Structure 1
Amino acid sequence: MTSRPLILITGLNGYIAAHTALRFLKAGYSVRGTVRSLASPNSELIHAALNPFSQSHAAALSLIEVPDMTADGAFDEAVKGVDAIAHLASPVSMSPASARSMMDAAVKGTTSLLSSSLRPSPSSSSSSALRSIVYMSSISAVYSPKPGREDHIYAEKDWNDDAEDQVKREGDQTPGYVVYQASKAAAERAFWRFAEEEEEEKNKEELLGGRRVAVVGMRALCPAPVLGPPLYLPEPIESLSMRAKDVYDILNGGEVPPFNTIRGTFVDVRDVAELVFNAVERDLASQQGGMQEKGARERYVVVGGQRASPRRIAEVLREKFPDRKEAIRPLVGEPVPEGQFARFDVSKARELLGREWIGFEQSVVDTAKVFM
């Protein structure tokens, strides 16, 4: 490519998105990031955090406002002229809401972007430069911590059907975390349905000048709960991601949450950003020099490690920060129970990463340093 590639990163002021933007800026990409409001404190904070890296690497950084990502045409302006998209924003939370509304918002937040980028209206005229879309799903779309499958090794073929079935049975009586899991599965399924429909449309097209129009690469990452140092401290501080919030709370004398299976896995935020970067690089490289190959269709189960209980976070903090030892509450309760960990085949994601995962202890320590 002769010009500097431009990537759109949705939800730029998010935890993972901030690190992803940093990775692309350091590589010389121009980054366009969506935020709900340009006037929000966190939009200003993320711009201030990233701008020095943009200037030092001579890479362009811009923010664009998308107040409602579920609205039709919400991303029409944002997608213009981009070479790649990292769709990291999500309207889904674990806050109380109707199960149906959460499911609908998750799906619409995905299909709205895909419609703008892959099926633009004549007025939006999305650029044909687009070669890669990376979608941030979740390990929650892959499995549910349901007893009876201890011998199963989860991989890219697996889906969390249990959560979606429970929402169908129980509706608004479904626990919030189960609705969240079902929403992530439903949103990723919508991503792949869209990919299939897009490929079917491309297969119907006539050959143009003896070569078929390239199909955009589409990849989904399904990460475990993410740990690692925030690039900036959000306002309010309570909006930290779950695992970083565990470190913050424990370091400052908060309760050590009990073990649960979901908190038993982790991946460092910098590893997730590297996976997004490597996925985009592969797609763009396959389209260089006039090549018009079929775009990749890849799903990745992303688990950097296990035995990542809150108690282990507290143990690392007490050992590595002895001056805070008195502030950290005594380690009570059950240590990591044996036999309560699902097993995952992460070889595909490990190959994409191209190096070893960042370890649990380093991830905890680097996170804590941000709060000191």
Structure 2
Amino acid sequence: MSHPRLVLITGINGYIAAHTAATFLRAGYSVRGTVRARTPNVESLVHKLSEHHDGTKLELIEVPDISANGAFDRAVQGVQAIAHLASPVSMTEADPGPMMRAAVEGTTSLLFSALAESKRKVGGQAALKSVVFMSTISAVFSPNRPDGHAFTEADWNDVAEEAARTLAPGSSGYLIYQASKTVAERAFWKFGQESGAGFGMTALCPAPVLGPPLYLPQPISSLSMRVKDVYDILHGGPIPDFAPIRSTFIDVRDVAELVFRATQQHDQTAGARERYLLVGQSAISPQGIADTLREHFPERRDIIREGNPGEAHPEMMWKFDSSKARGLLGRDWVGFSESIVDSAKLFMDAKI
């Protein structure tokens, strides 16, 4: 099977996107990435990605405002696949308006550009065949489900969707995040239905993502949230409280591989529409991070808080069925312990 020549990855300097870029480059693709600006972190990413290509397969385009009309018109030109991974992410935002608009308009702006590009014919066929959208388990998990409910791709966070209609300044930052991601994914599917787009569309809904960053951002406090939990606990920080979403996990390398495989799937099945729930393991708990670190890094036991060793999560009322995504991955998930240890080794080796 021939691979698409060029893939666009939006927000390429993000935690998941950086691994995704490396995955595509290793597979022989050329990669075009969007960034808001050429920052030192972007330069660190470019340096790291140079390990995965010959120096000619990576291109960056600045898109300062992803929600602007036509923001991606230039970026989509000539691409055969798009991985839309750029999204506003803030757990502390108190004003829902800007974040909600940016999440939805950033998605629809990209899709309008993709639709126009898909109408360009190469050899009598549409050049653009695939758009993969990074959603989240927060668009699937809804706390109002009955005990014993097993979440699948068919579920939606209707609590967040209802909240999206009533959010006001001062609302919970996490609720705003959940609502913004849910309505953005809804906008993704609505566009696909109403536009008649011929390209394949896939939404990936990952659990909280762990695993070693491809590059270390500066400041280190800007690490992705769950990875920062590992860094903080390794350095003596508090063990976070249990939460239902925190009882699930997926490794960043598995997420990147699934973006790649979803693109391949579209290459084989034109116009496919697929949604995947990505949960590599459940149930886990933040205490498990501390236990794993203390076991594998005994020299830091005086630094890493003990907490309540062996304490499991409170009895979980729900389950998560990610067998569909596991089938697409085609191998076992990266395990929780491996993900934690690999992240910590990176921090230790970097002496940060």
Scaled by the length of structure 1, the TM-score of the pair is: 0.88
Cα separation, 2, equivalents of 1:167 and 1:189: 12
Q: Residues 1-372 of structure 1: matches in 2 within 5 Å?
A: 5-38=5-38, 40-55=39-54, 60-119=57-116, 128-146=126-144, 149-199=146-196, 215-286=198-269, 294-332=270-308, 335-372=311-348
Per the TM alignment, residue 48 of structure 1 is displaced from its structure 2 partner at its CA by 0.6
Q: Which piece of structure 1 moves more, 306-315 or 6-15?
A: 306-315
- Gaps (5+ residues) in structure 1? 203-214, 287-293
SS in 2 for 1:119: helix
Per the TM alignment, residue 334 of structure 1 is displaced from its structure 2 partner at its CA by 9.4
Compute the RMSD of aligned alpha carbons.
2.1
The AA in structure 2 aligned to 1:252 is H
Per the TM alignment, residue 335 of structure 1 is displaced from its structure 2 partner at its CA by 2.7
Identity of aligned residues (%): 57
The AA in structure 1 aligned to 2:133 is Y
- Please tell me whether the aligned partners of residues 267 and 302 of structure 1 are also in contact (alpha carbons under 8 angstroms): yes
The AA in structure 2 aligned to 1:331 is G
The AA in structure 2 aligned to 1:140 is S
SS in 1 for 2:187: helix
Per the TM alignment, residue 50 of structure 1 is displaced from its structure 2 partner at its CA by 0.2
Per the TM alignment, residue 310 of structure 1 is displaced from its structure 2 partner at its CA by 1.5
C-alpha distance after superposition, 1:185-212 (max 9, x if no partner): 000000000100122xx6xxxxxxxxxx
Would the alpha carbon gap of residues 126 and 223 (structure 1) be closer, same or farther in structure 2, given more than 3 Å must change?
Answer: farther
- Please tell me whether the aligned partners of residues 84 and 132 of structure 2 are also in contact (alpha carbons under 8 angstroms): yes
Cα separation, 1, equivalents of 2:132 and 2:19: 15
- Please tell me whether the aligned partners of residues 4 and 28 of structure 1 are also in contact (alpha carbons under 8 angstroms): no
Cα separation, 2, equivalents of 1:279 and 1:182: 25
- Please tell me whether the aligned partners of residues 6 and 83 of structure 1 are also in contact (alpha carbons under 8 angstroms): yes
The total of aligned residue pairs comes to 345
Cα separation, 2, equivalents of 1:36 and 1:272: 23
Would the alpha carbon gap of residues 350 and 2 (structure 1) be closer, same or farther in structure 2, given more than 3 Å must change?
Answer: closer
Q: Which piece of structure 1 moves more, 301-310 or 362-371?
A: 301-310
Q: Which piece of structure 1 moves more, 164-173 or 354-363?
A: 164-173
Would the alpha carbon gap of residues 337 and 309 (structure 1) be closer, same or farther in structure 2, given more than 3 Å must change?
Answer: closer
The AA in structure 2 aligned to 1:118 is L
Per the TM alignment, residue 308 of structure 1 is displaced from its structure 2 partner at its CA by 2.5
Would the alpha carbon gap of residues 135 and 4 (structure 1) be closer, same or farther in structure 2, given more than 3 Å must change?
Answer: closer
- Please tell me whether the aligned partners of residues 25 and 59 of structure 1 are also in contact (alpha carbons under 8 angstroms): no
The AA in structure 2 aligned to 1:229 is P
- Please tell me whether the aligned partners of residues 259 and 336 of structure 1 are also in contact (alpha carbons under 8 angstroms): no
Cα separation, 1, equivalents of 2:321 and 2:220: 34
- Gaps (5+ residues) in structure 2? none
